[in-house]
Copies of this chain bind each other. A is one copy, B any other.
Amino acid sequence: MRRCQLSAIQSRIYSMNETPELASFLMDAAAGECAAPEAPLDAAPRHGINPAVTLLDVTVAPPNAIHTDGDAERLIRAISEANGLIPEIGFAVMTTLQARLRAAQWRVTCVIALGDGRQAPRVIDLWPVDPARRAYGLALDIGSTTLAAYLCDLMSSEVIANAKMVNPQVSYGADVMSRVSHSMMYPGAHLQMTAAVRDGVRRLTAEVTARCGIEAAEVLDAVVVCNPIMHHLYLGFDPYELGQAPFTFATSKALHVAARDIDLPIHPLAQAYLLPAVGNHVGADAAAVMLCEDLHCSEAMTLVIDIGTNAEFFLGNSKDIVASSSPTGPALEGAEITHGQRAAPGAIERVRIHPLTKEIRFKVIGSELWSDEPDFEASIRGIGVTGICGSGVIEMVAEMRMAGLIDPTGRIGTRDETGCAACFADGRTTSVTLYHCKRHIYVTNNDVREVQMAKAALYASLRLLMDDLGVSSVDRIVLAGAFGSHISVKHAMVLGLIPDCALEHVSAVGNAAGAGACVALMDVEARRQIERAVQHVRNVETATHADFQAYFLSASDIPNAEDRFPSLAARVVLPEVAFGKRSGRKNPDRMRGRQ
């Protein structure tokens, strides 16, 4: 049921016009083998629309000399008679209550925040009755790199506008751990970062509301999802304790915070709801993904991977759920690669190597053409070919494996060994040229090693979760996050980044965290479900697990030295090649140094 609503919300999110800043993230969304968002199963949500704020039209009895109670008391009585609620009246409403009731001739629309059982319902505004009035809510996904805002119509459950921007905190550190380090070095620095991210949220909010021509004060509710460190940095909590064992939250529960306490420029009496965290390193964004994917209601053993600078993943079904997280390192995002770069125009994002001719072709962000098509050079005029982004790196290494340019250990064969003209001697190893026109863009064996280590760390953690639940395979894989929707599922599996699974059961849901936030915004029951569900999620510390190193070493092979990939094997035949000295394998010392 939830899934239907979710898909509808997601499809609406995907159909939005993206803001210029984020265009680069989305340019390859249409590309062929890239995992596309699931088609919506149902255009209209079957789930009830059940927001935390309701509008109620009432007629208030005018005062008379006999009944000497106050206007507030008669307003409360009118509300109570209309729907049984006995609300409190927000103080700011009370200050202008009398004039507003009279101006509206005793017929008003009450904006009522329904509370959560611990808080009483509260009238947060009074409007003149107007059939055209709407109620809006704001879902915020506060990521380490990207802030995303979704403006929702709470009455129709529609996402009517969204916007994204780079988290202004990136100037304090590219990833969350560097921001925690920054705050540890400079006392009070976390408050500067808090101010920076809140300012970003303010600008995003202004953008989505302006685009729809609505006032900030018409936005009556907000739901916020973020990882633990962003959670603390957004709320103004010092993230110090999250930077050291035992990685303790200030709070891991769901929170209601007054919008004004976090400088959120929506209705001044509105509240923001923060989803609960799932575990030490798995925050409210993961809870949003769980909510989005109905993990806690599903029979199928489902693996959810949210890949970003940090990867968060959980595995389970309605019976049991385990969660963990792992730093993926920058390689999967294109950094620490000789010609790596962020996804931006000019970055190579798709790569194909012909299995027989070994000819290499690619696509860059900003052009629809493959590099071997006639007008390619013309199509990239002014853009150029500037480097390789994360999805390009993954495809390149996977294609090299499929074309037999590297062996399972990741060693690149020489031009003679592979028969590939792009291979060239580069010191004691071999590198592979992708493009050599105005610039020379190539992949070194060291680049391949970086990718191997990043994917091995991730895979080892996933395997430990599978061990924890006693399963040897998964029924379904869901890739969440912007990155997850831009990588090719097949290539990720060839690389051994994700476990073996029938490809048709692997899907990318894009910003599931954002979609989950939208669901929580539109349905308070979903909030309660997820609050209950996260209490049963067990957090597994994988990096310190005794078996991690062994799994990591096996996973360093492409796809894996130990695990078989039967579903993949039915679709892709990997050449059995071996280059150089077999005893060399990878350099174990160097591997240990990374861990």
Given known A-B contacts A68-B539, A248-B70, A94 and B235 have beta carbons under 8 A apart? yes
A241 at the interface (CB under 8 A from B): yes
Please, could you name 30 A-B residue pairs with CB atoms under 8 Å apart, sorted by A? A64-B246, A65-B246, A68-B246, A68-B247, A68-B248, A68-B279, A69-B252, A70-B251, A70-B252, A70-B253, A71-B241, A71-B248, A71-B251, A72-B249, A72-B250, A72-B251, A73-B251, A73-B252, A88-B118, A89-B251, A91-B258, A91-B261, A94-B237, A94-B255, A95-B237, A96-B238, A97-B251, A98-B240, A98-B248, A119-B119
Task: Judge if A280 is at the interface, Cβ distance under 8 Å.
Answer: yes
Could you tell me if B253 and A541 are in contact, using CB atoms closer than 8 angstroms? Answer: no
A64-B246, A68-B248 known, 17 other contacts, Cβ within 8 Å: A63-B248, A68-B539, A70-B248, A72-B253, A73-B251, A88-B118, A91-B261, A94-B235, A94-B237, A94-B250, A97-B250, A97-B251, A98-B240, A98-B250, A118-B120, A119-B119, A119-B120
Q: Is the CB of B71 within 8 A of A250?
A: yes
Asked whether A257 and B69 contact (CB < 8 A) given A98-B250, A240-B99, A248-B98, the answer is: no
Taking CB atoms, residues of chain B closer than 8 Å to A132 are none
A306 CB to closest chain B CB, in angstroms? 19
Chain B residues with Cβ below 8 Å from A72 are 249-251, 253
Interface secondary structure of A, over-half rule: loop
Q: Which residues of chain B have C-beta atoms less than 8 A from A570's C-beta?
A: none
Shortest CB–CB separation between residue A77 and chain B, in angstroms?
12
What residues on B are CB-neighbors of A240 within 8 Å?
Answer: 98-99
> Known contacts A68-B246, A88-B118, A118-B120; is A94 also within 8 Å of B539 by CB?
no
CA distance A99 to B242 in the complex (A): 12
**A78 CB to nearest chain B CB (Å):** 14
A37 within 8 Å of B (CB atoms):
no
A236 within 8 A of B: yes
User: Digit string of A44-86 for contact with B (CB within 8 Å is 1, else 0)?
Assistant: 0000000000000000000111001111110000000000000
Question: In angstroms, how far is the closest chain B Cβ from the Cβ of A268?
Answer: 11
Interface residues of A in 297-321 (CB under 8 A from B): none
Contacts of A1 in B (CB 8 A): none
Q: Considering only CB atoms, which chain B residue lies closest to A237 in the complex? A: B95
- With contacts A237-B94, A238-B99 taken as known, whether A250 is within 8 angstroms of B70 at the C-beta atoms is yes
Chain B residues with CB under 8 A of A255: 94
Least distance between A296 CB and chain B CB atoms (Å)? 18
A245: Cβ under 8 A from any B Cβ: yes
Which residues from chain B contact A249 at a C-beta distance below 8 Å? Answer: 68-72
When distances are taken between beta carbons in the complex, the residues of chain B under 8 Å from A71 are: 241, 248-251
Q: Give the complex CA separation of A124 and B92 in angstroms.
A: 22
* A356-B104 Cα distance, complex, nearest whole Å: 70
Residues of B contacting A250 with CB < 8 Å? Answer: 70-72, 94, 97-98
**Which of A92, A238, A279 counts the most chain B CB atoms within 10 A?**
A238
Contact B97 A541 (CB under 8 A): no
Chain A interface size, as a band, is 35 or more
**A228 nearest in chain B by CB position:** B70
- Alpha-carbon distance between A88 and B91 when the two chains are bound, in angstroms: 20
- A539 CA / B240 CA spacing, docked (Å): 60
Residue of B nearest to A102 (CB): B241
Identify which of residues 206-238 in chain A touch chain B, using a CB-to-CB cut-off of 8 Å: 235-238
The smallest beta-carbon distance between A239 and chain B, in angstroms, is 9
Chain B residues near A91 (CB-CB < 8 A): 257-258, 261
Could you tell me the distance in whole angstroms from the C-beta of A534 to the nearest C-beta in chain B? Answer: 11
Report the Cα distance A236→B68, complex, angstroms.
21
Q: How far is the CB of A379 from chain B (nearest CB, A)?
A: 51
Chain B residue nearest to A242 in the complex (CB):
B98
Name the B residues within 8 Å of A238 (CB-CB).
96, 98-99
Residues of chain B within 8 A of A92, CB atoms compared:
261
Per-position binary interface string of chain A over residues 247-283, scored 1 when its CB falls under 8 Å from any chain B CB and 0 otherwise: 1111111010110010000000000000001011000
A578 to chain B, nearest CB (A): 42
Q: How far is the CB of A48 from chain B (nearest CB, A)?
A: 27
Q: CA separation between A237 and B119, bound complex, in Å?
A: 25
CB of A542, distance to nearest CB on chain B (Å): 13
Q: Is the CB of A246 within 8 A of B63?
A: yes
Residue ID in chain B nearest A276 by CB atoms: B70
Expressed in whole angstroms, the minimum distance between the Cβ of A514 and any Cβ of chain B is 24
Closest to A541 in B: B65
Interchain CA distance A258-B99 in the complex, whole Å: 22
